[in-house]
C-alpha cells in the first residue's frame, strides 16, 4: 500500500514538474516573440479592452481585416503600402490575435469559448468609430472575410463596399480535423496548446506556412515579418483554434442575411485554394448577394494579396469606383 502511495506521489510530482517546465518554456518563448515583434501601430482602448490598430496613407477609408493564425503584420510586409497613396488604410488585429485582447467571455486557459465574427466585428466597429473611420471599404481575408461580412451586416448603410479575399462565407461540409478539435477543447486549450507553444519545431511552423501559400511560395521574409511566435502564444493559439472551430454556425446565421448586403461587393478567389475552396464559398456567395462581382484567379491558392497583390489592389479600386469613392480604373 505504501509503495503504491509513493508511486502515486512520485507520478504527481513528476506531472507537476513537467507542467511547470512547459509553462515556463512557453512563457519564455512568448516573451521573446513580443520583444522581437512589438506593436507596429497604436493601442486604443475600446470598452476597456486594448485594440491594436495601424493607420497609413490618406484618402477614402479602407479597413483591412486579417485571417486566421495571423495579425495585421500580414498586410504590412508590402501590401498596405501599395494602397497608401490613395486610401487611408486602417489595419486591426482581430480579438485574441496580435495585440488585441480577447473578449471577456472568451478568456482563460480552461475556457473553450471563441469570439464569433459578429462579436469581433462589433468590437472593431467601435475601434473604427474612435479612429474617425467613415463609410469605409472593408476588406477581409479568409476568416477576416467572415468578419467583414458581419461588419457589413451590422452597418449596411455606413459601409461603402466589401472586398472579400479568399473569404470564408458559406457553410462547409465535413469537419476541421483532429488538431482543431483538440486545440479548441477545454482540456486541449489548457494542456495541449502550452506544449505546442513550448516545443513546436520551427520546421513544423515553416511547413504550415508553405501549406497555406500552396501552390505558390511564401514571399521572402514573410515568417520573420509576421512574427509566427505571436500566433504561437498560448492565448493567441487558443483564440485561433476556438474561433475557427466554432465558426460554422455563425456563418450559417449570417448566410441567411446576405441579401441585405446591397453595397458593392468585390469577391476575389483563387481556384487552387484548398484552405477555403472557391467552389464552396465564393461561387455560392455570388449567388446570395445582390450587388456582387466575382474575380476568379486561375491557379491561385489562398494568399493572393501576397502572390498577386495587384489583382487584389485592382479589386479594391473597382469597389471604390462602384461605391463612388474614386473614378473607375
Q: Which of 71, 99, 95, 108 is nearest to 193 (CA)?
A: 108
The reported pLDDT for the residue numbered 282 is: 98
- Residue spans of the chain under pLDDT 50: none
Q: Cell 480552461 belongs to which residue?
A: 110
The reported pLDDT for the residue numbered 18 is: 62
The reported pLDDT for the residue numbered 142 is: 97
* Reported pTM: 0.93
The reported pLDDT for the residue numbered 81 is: 96
CA 118 to chain centre: 13
The reported pLDDT for the residue numbered 298 is: 98
Sheet containing 137-141: which strands, arranged edge to edge?
A: 42-46, 49-56, 88-92, 61-65, 137-141, 161-165, 265-270, 292-297
What cell does 273 get? 485554394
CATH fold of 38-322? Rossmann fold (3.40.50)
CA 164 to chain centre: 13
Q: What is the pLDDT of residues 188-210, one digit of tens each?
A: 788 888 888 888 888 889 999 99
The reported pLDDT for the residue numbered 180 is: 84
Helices of type H across the chain? 2-36, 73-76, 117-130, 143-154, 178-183, 186-187, 193-199, 202-213, 222-226, 228-231, 234-245, 247-255, 282-288, 304-307, 309-322
CA angle 234, 108, 112 (to 5 degrees): 90
The reported pLDDT for the residue numbered 17 is: 64
> Is-contact 100 49, C-beta < 8 A?
yes
Amino acid at each position: 500500500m505504501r509503495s503504491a502511495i509513493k508511486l502515486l506521489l512520485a507520478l504527481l510530482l513528476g506531472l507537476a514538474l513537467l507542467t511547470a517546465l512547459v509553462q515556463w518554456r512557453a512563457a519564455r518563448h512568448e516573451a521573446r516573440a513580443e520583444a522581437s515583434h512589438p506593436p507596429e501601430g497604436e493601442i486604443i482602448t475600446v470598452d476597456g479592452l486594448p485594440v491594436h490598430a495601424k493607420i497609413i496613407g490618406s484618402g477614402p477609408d479602407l479597413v483591412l481585416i486579417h485571417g486566421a493564425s495571423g495579425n495585421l503584420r500580414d498586410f504590412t510586409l508590402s501590401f498596405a503600402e501599395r494602397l497608401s497613396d490613395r486610401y487611408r488604410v486602417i489595419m486591426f488585429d482581430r480579438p485574441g490575435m496580435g495585440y488585441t485582447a480577447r473578449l471577456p467571455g472568451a478568456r482563460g486557459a480552461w475556457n473553450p469559448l471563441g469570439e464569433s465574427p459578429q462579436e469581433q466585428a462589433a468590437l472593431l466597429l467601435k475601434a473604427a468609430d474612435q479612429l474617425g473611420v467613415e463609410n469605409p471599404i472593408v476588406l477581409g481575408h479568409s476568416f477576416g472575410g467572415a468578419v467583414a461580412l458581419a461588419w457589413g451586416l451590422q452597418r449596411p448603410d455606413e459601409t461603402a463596399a466589401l472586398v472579400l479575399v479568399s473569404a470564408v462565407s458559406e457553410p462547409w461540409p465535413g469537419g476541421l480535423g483532429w488538431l482543431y478539435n483538440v486545440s479548441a477543447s477545454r482540456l486541449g486549450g489548457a494542456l495541449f496548446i502550452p506544449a505546442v507553444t513550448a516545443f513546436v519545431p520551427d520546421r513544423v511552423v515553416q511547413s504550415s506556412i508553405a501549406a497555406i501559400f500552396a501552390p505558390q511560395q511564401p514571399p521572402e521574409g514573410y515568417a520573420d515579418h509576421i512574427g509566427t511566435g505571436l500566433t504561437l502564444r498560448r492565448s493567441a493559439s487558443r483564440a485561433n483554434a476556438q474561433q475557427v472551430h466554432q465558426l460554422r454556425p455563425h456563418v450559417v446565421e449570417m448566410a441567411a442575411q446576405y441579401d441585405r448586403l446591397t453595397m458593392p461587393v468585390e469577391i476575389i478567389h483563387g481556384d487552387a485554394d484548398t484552405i477555403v475552396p472557391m467552389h464552396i464559398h465564393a461561387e455560392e456567395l455570388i449567388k446570395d448577394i445582390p450587388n456582387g462581382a466575382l474575380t476568379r484567379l486561375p491557379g491561385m491558392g489562398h494568399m493572393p494579396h501576397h502572390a498577386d497583390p495587384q489583382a487584389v489592389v485592382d479589386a479594391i479600386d473597382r469597389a471604390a469606383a462602384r461605391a463612388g469613392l474614386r473614378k473607375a480604373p
